[in-house]
Structures are given as structure tokens and as C-alpha cells.
Amino acid sequence: MKQELTLLAYAVALAFAQILVAVLLAIPQVGLPILMGNREDMAPLTGAADRAQRAYRNMLESLLLFAALVLVAVLAGRTNATTLLGAQLFIWARFAYATLYVVGIPVLRTLAWFIAAIGLFLVFWQVI
């Protein structure tokens, strides 16, 4: 299996881990019964719980792009050292992004996002 596909699987695992972190941080604020319900009357999350939820949503947006690019690169036979580097940059930068976002470090978080975007661009560049 191509390493890019393995990194795609890791990206999915990272997204799932972000869901778990967001839920675990939300439990003390709103309680488990509210989280298990429809959440229609749930109070807005604050602090790390809110940031974890936003980081997860951002990961979903990025994951869609990453998955599409990796799958096109693999199916088109366009994988090489550059696509692997791009995939590696993406996964490590997204891990850093999620961590920095939940902790609340804005400038470094933005830098991590930008590095992940460079990773996406590197894969895209090889596809076109």
C-alpha cells in the first residue's frame, strides 16, 4: 500500500481522536446527558471545549481536500517523493494545529495550518 494512503488513514484517526477530545472537554461543561441528547438546548461551549470543537470542524474541511488529493494521486499513479512529503507535512502539521488550537496558542496554530496547506499544495502540484 502506498505510504500516502497510510497517512490518509492516520488523518482519519486524527480526526476521530479530535472528536473524542472535543466530547471529553465538553462533558464537564454541559454534562453527559445533554451530550447524549439532541443538543437543542445545549449552552454554548467555552474555552478549550469550544476550541476543540472548532479544530475538529476545521479538520473535517481539510480532510476532505487531503483525501481527494491523495486518492487522485494514487489512482493516477502520480505518487512520488513530493506527494509523500506533502502528505507527511499535512498529517504532522494537522496534529500540531489541533494541539495548538485546543491549548489556545493562536499564532503558532496559524503557522501549523499554513504548513498543512503547503502539504496539500505539494500533492496537488504532482497531480496536475
pTM of the model: 0.93
CA quadruple 81, 83, 84, 90: dihedral sign: positive
Q: What average pLDDT values come out for the chain (128 residues) when binned by 10 residues? A: 97 98 96 88 92 97 98 98 98 98 97 98 97
Determine the pLDDT at residue 43. Answer: 87
Q: Judge whether 18 and 99 are in contact, CB under 8 Å.
A: no
**Total domain count, the chain:** 1
Expressed as residue numbers, the domain containing 69 is 3-38+46-127
Query: What CATH number has the domain bearing residue 18?
Result: 1.20.120.550
Determine the pLDDT at residue 71. Answer: 98
Q: Judge whether 22 and 102 are in contact, CB under 8 Å.
A: no
Determine the pLDDT at residue 37. Answer: 87
Identify which of 93, 76, 84, 97 has the alpha carbon closest to the alpha carbon of residue 123. Answer: 84
At 21, which amino acid appears? V
Determine the pLDDT at residue 39. Answer: 84
Q: Judge whether 122 and 83 are in contact, CB under 8 Å.
A: yes
Determine the pLDDT at residue 13. Answer: 98
